[in-house]
Amino acid sequence: MAMNKNTVLAWATWIMVFVGCGLIALGAFRYDEVAGWGFAAVGGGFYCIAWVFNALKGRM
């Protein structure tokens, strides 16, 4: 399988979306104190970076 730049960005986007979902789920269901807000915030950051990766597809 040939991995060009767009394929790498697509894989990175999906991996970051799944990790972001996991972090938000940890913050929502595992931690009830302030640490849960931190996990959810980092998960949201992963979503933002995945959005940037998705926007870069076809432009690099």
CA distance 49 to 33: 26
Exposed/middle/buried for 16, CB within 10 Å: 0-12, 13-18, 19+?
Answer: buried
* pTM for the full predicted model: 0.82
pLDDT the model gives residue 29: 92
pLDDT in tens, 10-57: 999 999 999 999 999 999 999 888 989 999 999 999 999 999 988 988
pLDDT the model gives residue 19: 95
pLDDT the model gives residue 37: 93
pLDDT the model gives residue 58: 79
Exposed/middle/buried for 32, CB within 10 Å: 0-12, 13-18, 19+?
Answer: exposed
